[in-house]
Each structure stands twice: as structure tokens, then as C-alpha cells.
Structure 1
Amino acid sequence: MTGFMNMNRRQLLQAAGASAAAASLGAGKAFALAGDGIKIGTFSGALNDVLEKVAGPKFKSTHADAALTFTARASAEAYPRLLVAKTNPFETGGLWNDTFAALGAKADLFTKVEPANAPNVAAIPQDLQPRHGMGVAAAIQPFGIAYNPKFVEKPKSWLDLFNPKYAGKVGMHENFWDAYVMLARILGKDEYNLSVAVDEWAKHKKNIGVWTTSYTQMEELIDKGEVWLGPQWGGYTAAAQLRGLNIAFAWPEEGCTQQTIVGCVNAGTSPAVSKATQEFVNVWLDPEIQLEILKRAGLSPSNPNVTLPTEYAQLEGVVNVKTNTKKLFQYDFAHVGGTLQALRREIDQKLR
């Protein structure tokens, strides 16, 4: 699943500035593909496998003539390409992370998934759906704190990352921002003023032992005890636990941010292709497919009609959307995504 979050810093910063670059290029010529098939952009690994090998055959059982193709790509790579292929997109739909789904919605890259074409959408709790309305929550996970139980008592608060006894033992992601969003909330601000969170972290930067570039690197470092704890995705932590790693997930009392796998349908296609793509997105929300996403990737079903297997239900990084009462926040992803270069410079100057 490297396409979801294992993107490097250069990709993120290049994509954040892609809107300006797109304005200087012609609309949609270099990357358009011919034909009226359903072309889906996915994340490599487990999610690509579920869509291609499980959801695809199920869809084909009722749409025998549909031509399905799948391309694994990162959101940060696909976004700038689609900006210049807006009226003739090279994919008809796909998976996106929160940031680039929100930026894409703001740039009018996507069209609304209509209930008539995707009746499963009605089952998804509205507070889990992306606020911009141009996509559906195909799966979710909380973003909180991962830790090694051999070295750390279960953290209760985001502020536990500042405990002096963790000097040099906290891992921080160099290409993800939700830890700053949550700290800003604790300090009485929000995502529109992340400088206050960076300044607070600067007071405790001696705790930062490693800057990581992926969730897999973070979980490996925690498992080996090279770092003891750090901000991390709950679903990926749950999957690592089930693989036997020395890692656990804590949901801080102040809450977690919600990380969503967003299913979007591209604007700029024919009505028939758009309808068919929406019907395929509907299959992603079937309980059977949602359960496969959980088992293969650790990501929580957004459809409350899925019964969680016991081994998953007992893990704190897995969300039961039917019964969850813990705090789970979305924020203005498009705003943060549009200010990444300035935020990155500030982090480099003050924390590294």
C-alpha cells in the first residue's frame, strides 16, 4: 500500500505547487488515454489487490461487458497530472488520500457520486464522509500514537510525546502533518495556525530521535526499539500487531484525526462512463469488499453493516463505526495541502 502514504518529501512539495504549473500547460493532452473503459487509479499493494482481484470480478458478474483497468499510483503523483488532463482524464475514478482528494475537489477534478448509482453510500455515516462531498469514504483509520509496550506505558495524551524520559526516542514523520493539527487544537488553535504547534514542538525537539518517511519505517523502528513511540496510523499499526510486531496503538484522550481512503469519480468523462465508474465504487462499499480491505490492509470499514472479526475488533487502531464514541476529527485538508511548502520550511527551520 505504498501509494497511500509512502511518498517522499519532494513528491509532496511538487504536488502542492502543481496548480500553478498546470495553469501554464494545455488542458489534458499528454496523459489522456483513448477508449471508454473504466480506468481506476489505486494504491499499490493490498488495496490494488482487493479492487482488482476481489471487487473487479464481483462487478463483472453484473457488468459482463465492462472493461476494467487498474493503475497503481500515489496521490501526489496523480494529482498534478490530472490538473493538466482535467477535461480528458487518464483515469475515470480512483483512490485518494484526504489531502489530494480535497485539493482535487477544490480544483473541480471530481464529480459527485450519486445515490442512484451507488446505493451503498446511504449506509455510510455522514460524519465519516469527506466534507467536500466529491467522493466517498471507502475505508478509514485513526491517526494517533503508536508505541512499543516493552518500553512505554500506553500514552494517554498527545502531550505525552513531550515527556523528558522519551528524549531521543520519539519518531516523527517528515511528510505528514496531523500531529501538528492535533497539537494546535490542544493549544486552542486549529489547522489554520499550525505555527503554534511547531513552536511548541521546538521546546521539546530533543525528544525527536528519528524523522521517518513512511509508516512502514516508523513501525519497524518502534518494533526494534530504536524509537519507542510516535504519531502513527491506527490501521497500519493494527496490521503490524497482527503480524507479530512489538507495537500497539493509543487513541489519545484529545482524539485522533480521521484518515480516509477516499473513492472519487473523475469529471470530464462521458455520462455512461461516469455512471459505470460510480457503480463500481458502489461495489467497494459492499460489506464483503470492506471486510477484505480490513483483513488485507488493516483499514476500518466505513460501512457499519460489516461485522468485525474478533481479532480486529479488540485492536484500538480498528474503528467500529457502528459503536465508536471516541473523538475522531476531520479538518480542512485542502488548506493544509495548499500550505505544505511553508509548513515544511518552518518545520525544517525550527525542529531539525
Structure 2
Amino acid sequence: MKALRTLSAAAMAFAMLAATPAWSQSKTIYIGMNGGPMEKAYTTQVLPAFEKANNVQVTVVPGTSSDILAKLLANRAHPQIHAAFLDDGVMARAVSLGLCEKLDDSPVLKELYPFARMKGDVGAGVQLGMTGIAYNKKLFAEKGWAPPTSWLDFANPKYKGKVVFQSASSSTFGLHGLLALNRIWGGSEQNVEPAFTKWASTVGPNVIEYIPNSAKISEMVQTGEAGLFPLTPTGVADLQDKGLPVAYVNPKEGPVLLLVDVCVVKNNPDDQLAQQLAQFLLSAPAQEKAAEAGKQIPTNHLAKMPASMQQSLGNIDDLVHKVTVVDWDAINAHRAQWDTRWNQQIEK
């Protein structure tokens, strides 16, 4: 069996696909997922077991969830990706557009936390995440500040000029922060008026910069600009691995659930293998490997995390009962309008 190969750019993967018209018979399958730490964790520690067991090569097509969705749409008539990892909000859009097929009934589905199973089993959570509060420990120590405890800390005047917020129009983390505060102020996914009305007099004055994604945060932590920002435990762990003085806090109102879901692409060239890959990725052994290699939090309740993750996150069974689950159908129905309003009213 050939060694697992990953491609540094999605374009290279699709060049290979285009050059190999009979690729569905070559025992090579393609999966779309985020690049960087996630890709490295899966390609080095998780996927090799599936390759060996099935005499198949798995090639990663890296990209953000939005990138992968765009590729699925562009090739929906003749899909070139067998399965895809998508953030839950993007996955809801993919399902509504008819890009995903029902997962085969399998015992592994019953091992998942209930919220990780999508309606109709058209996809399932492969990685559990939650958006909470990350903070710069060095800066907080220098200022003599206690760790944050609430989403409302983003509106605390003492943090003026030290809050970094991802754009709600382009980042799930930013959108989660907006919706969490909106709920505290009496709103819901059907009514975001409280957040848009209060933002300019609460969080807005504290924000030093709105950023399109989280890529710039490490630099802003190093310079001392970023003191407080929405992020996930996995995102914080990635920063800690770089030696940055950051920590994660679950806000007392509860973090916002953020799943990475796996989708079997409808009409893919090798459905049997794609379904087997999805079942493998949802299994406890695969998720344990992902936790060890990339600090990916399991959605399979039988999977065990390394001791270091258990220590930092606590009891996952308890934590999942505290997360806020948002209504992605309602969000996606109004997302374009919210994005325009955010860009014109908040990031003007």
C-alpha cells in the first residue's frame, strides 16, 4: 500500500483528479477537511489504520468549510470528493442544498452524543467543540485581572482596547459570540435585535480590531494587543502548543456548541468506501487517535481522551449538558441579512 499522501493545496488534488478519469477504480478516496493541525493529526495518526484495513489510499483536499462547500457545489453533478468535514453551520447549508446522503445505519451512530446525530442521519458530528472565552494570561497577570467568567466580560469597560472579535459575517466564533450575548440580552436566533441594538454601547468600544478569522490572534497575543477573544478549547490548545500564554474558560452562561460534522457526498464515485470511512471516523478508536494527535474532542461517548485533555476540560459528559445549541436552520435563513447588517453597522 502506498503511504498516505496529503496535498498542500486543494488545486493540486483536483489536478490529480482531472488527470485520472478512472480514479474511482484505483482504491483512492478523497476527503475534504481543514488544513493545518487537523489535517496533520488525521493524516499521521488516524487515517493510516483505515488505509491498511481497506487497502486504500486516502488523500486530503484541505480547505476551510466554506472552501469545501464551494467545491462540492461546483462539482455536484460529478463529485470528486467522497466525504467532507464541515463546521455544523456550513453542514446545515450543505444538507439543505442536497449535497449529502444518509449515513448507513450502523451501531457506531448509537455511540454518539445525541446532539451529534443530524436529523435523518444525513451527517454526524466527528469532533466536539465549543466556543467560549480565551484570554491572554500574561496580560491579565500584568493588569492584575482575574480570569473572565462570563460572555458579558466582553462588554466590561476595563477591557477597552483589549478585545479582539472575529467577524460574525465570516467566522463561526464571531457569530457564536454575537448570538451568546444576544441570548443574554433577551434575544434568540429568530430575533437578533438586542445584540445589534446594544453592541455599539457595550462590546463595540472595547474592540481593538475585528478580524475575518482567528489566524491573526497568535500575533496579537504576542504583541499584547489581544486580551480577550472567542475561541474553542482546541484552538487555545493550538496556541499553547506554540508557546503562547493563553487559557480557555467556559462562560458561566455556557459555551456555544460547535461541531465538525462528517458528510458522505451524494453520488460520490465509491459510496461503499465513503460510508465505511464515515463509520470509521465516528468510531471510538479513531476518535481516540484524533484526541491524542490533535486534541480533537470526541463525539463518541465511548472514546477516551488523554489525561491532559481530561484535566483541562473536565468531565465531558457533564460539559455537554451545559452547552448552548443554536438553531442553524433559523440562522442560515437570515444569515445574509445579518452579514450585511454586521458589515454596515458594526464593522463600518
Query: What TM-score bracket applies, with the shorter chain setting the length?
Result: 0.7 to 0.9
Q: What residue number does 2:286 align with?
A: 289
Of 134-143 and 282-291, the range deviating more from structure 2: 282-291
Taking a change above 3 Å as real, the CA distance of residues 343 and 297 of structure 1, as seen in their structure-2 partners, is farther
CA deviation profile, 1:244-297 (whole Å, cap 9, x unmatched): 321111111111111111111011136xx2221111122223334323323443
Q: What residue number does 1:91 align with?
A: 81
Q: Give the conservation status (yes or no) of the 8 Å contact 1:146–1:229.
A: yes
Output aligned runs, 1:127-276, within 5 Å: 127-131=115-119, 133-150=121-138, 151=140, 152-174=145-167, 175-176=170-171, 177-204=175-202, 205-269=204-268, 273-276=270-273
Q: What residue number does 1:3 align with?
A: none
* Post-superposition offset of 1:121: 2.4
Q: Structure 1 vs Structure 2: percent identity of aligned residues?
A: 23
CA deviation profile, 1:120-162 (whole Å, cap 9, x unmatched): 2221111233456321111111101111234142222111111
* Post-superposition offset of 1:49: 2.7
TM-score by length of 2: 0.82
Taking a change above 3 Å as real, the CA distance of residues 195 and 133 of structure 1, as seen in their structure-2 partners, is farther
1:294 is aligned with what amino acid?
A
2:341 equivalent to 1:346: yes
Taking a change above 3 Å as real, the CA distance of residues 50 and 164 of structure 1, as seen in their structure-2 partners, is closer
Taking a change above 3 Å as real, the CA distance of residues 328 and 128 of structure 1, as seen in their structure-2 partners, is farther
Distance 2:324 2:146 in 1: 25
Distance 2:58 2:229 in 1: 40
Q: Give the conservation status (yes or no) of the 8 Å contact 1:43–1:74.
A: yes
**Structure with the bigger percentage of helix:** 2
1:347 is aligned with what amino acid?
W
Distance 1:341 1:328 in 2: 25
Distance 1:113 1:32 in 2: 27
Q: What residue number does 2:108 align with?
A: 120
Taking a change above 3 Å as real, the CA distance of residues 46 and 319 of structure 1, as seen in their structure-2 partners, is farther
* Post-superposition offset of 1:201: 1.2
Distance 1:141 1:71 in 2: 22
Distance 2:94 2:314 in 1: 27
Taking a change above 3 Å as real, the CA distance of residues 95 and 320 of structure 1, as seen in their structure-2 partners, is farther
Aligned length: 316
Distance 2:310 2:166 in 1: 27
Output aligned runs, 1:62-73, within 5 Å: 62-64=53-55, 66-73=56-63
CA deviation profile, 1:88-114 (whole Å, cap 9, x unmatched): 212111111112111000111001112
1:306 is aligned with what amino acid?
A
1:188 is aligned with what amino acid?
G
Of 167-176 and 31-40, the range deviating more from structure 2: 31-40
* Post-superposition offset of 1:326: 5.1
Distance 2:220 2:118 in 1: 32
2:201 is aligned with what amino acid?
K
2:317 equivalent to 1:322: yes
2:60 is aligned with what amino acid?
F
Distance 1:179 1:242 in 2: 24
Q: RMSD value over aligned CA atoms?
A: 2.5
* Post-superposition offset of 1:336: 2.6
CA deviation profile, 1:220-255 (whole Å, cap 9, x unmatched): 423542121121222211332354321111111111
- Secondary structure (helix, strand or coil) at the match of 2:121 reads coil
Taking a change above 3 Å as real, the CA distance of residues 331 and 172 of structure 1, as seen in their structure-2 partners, is same
Alignment gaps of 5+ in structure 2: 1-17
Alignment gaps of 5+ in structure 1: 1-29
Taking a change above 3 Å as real, the CA distance of residues 246 and 223 of structure 1, as seen in their structure-2 partners, is farther
Distance 2:22 2:190 in 1: 41
Q: Give the conservation status (yes or no) of the 8 Å contact 1:199–1:350.
A: no
Taking a change above 3 Å as real, the CA distance of residues 74 and 303 of structure 1, as seen in their structure-2 partners, is same
Q: Give the conservation status (yes or no) of the 8 Å contact 1:145–1:229.
A: yes
Q: What residue number does 2:33 align with?
A: 42
Q: Give the conservation status (yes or no) of the 8 Å contact 1:33–1:90.
A: no
Distance 1:242 1:183 in 2: 29
Taking a change above 3 Å as real, the CA distance of residues 60 and 78 of structure 1, as seen in their structure-2 partners, is closer
